[in-house]
């Protein structure tokens, strides 16, 4: 089975940028959709942005459209989440998840394999 590990989180000021990485091991990500999800303290986990297994289709939550961009680099077996114009409400633990031959939907139950998360804190 595939394993995914997130990295790139940290502390950033409002308006700043971060790029999160989701790196796979165990097998290639070529045939996996990847979703980014986040969970803030006291909140339910929510979908952020997802990409299908081909990389040709993406979906994003309304709250991040125009600010976050998901992309994949199959040669590096990595999926990225470029986060721009960050807001304090973006503060959360961000999780990467994989779905075999997934459609890249924002539905959490589609995803089978989950990373441990990386903390993103947006604060001045």
For the cut 90, the answer to whether the pLDDT of residue 71 exceeds it is yes
Q: Is 62 helix (H, G, I), strand (E, B) or coil?
A: coil
Tens digit of each residue's pLDDT (9 = 90 or more) over 76-90? 999 999 999 999 999
Q: Is 121 helix (H, G, I), strand (E, B) or coil?
A: strand
Q: Classify residue 116 as exposed, middle or buried by CB count within 10 Å of its CB (0-12, 13-18, 19+).
A: exposed
Average pLDDT over residues 97-123: 96
The pLDDT assigned to 101 comes to: 92
Tens digit of each residue's pLDDT (9 = 90 or more) over 7-64? 999 999 999 999 999 999 988 888 999 999 999 999 999 999 999 988 889 999 999 9
Q: How far apart are CA 76 and CA 99, in angstroms?
A: 18
The pLDDT assigned to 27 comes to: 87
Q: How far apart are CA 20 and CA 17, in angstroms?
A: 10
The pLDDT assigned to 1 comes to: 84
Answer positive or negative: Cα dihedral of 96, 101, 102, 103: positive
Bridge partner residues of 72 (DSSP): 79
The pLDDT assigned to 85 comes to: 98
């Amino acid at each position: 089975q595939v394993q995914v590990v997130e990295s790139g989180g940290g502390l950033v000021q409002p308006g700043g940028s971060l790029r999160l990485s989701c790196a796979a091991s165990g097998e290639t990500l070529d045939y996996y959709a990847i979703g980014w999800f986040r969970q803030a303290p006291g909140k339910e986990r929510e979908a952020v942005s997802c990409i299908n297994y081909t990389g040709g289709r993406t979906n994003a939550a309304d709250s991040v459209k125009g600010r976050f961009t998901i992309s994949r680099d199959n040669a590096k077996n990595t999926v990225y989440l470029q986060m721009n114009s960050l807001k304090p409400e973006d503060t959360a633990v961000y999780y990467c998840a994989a779905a075999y031959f997934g459609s890249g939907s924002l539905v959490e139950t589609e995803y089978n394999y989950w990373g441990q998360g990386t903390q993103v804190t947006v604060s001045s």
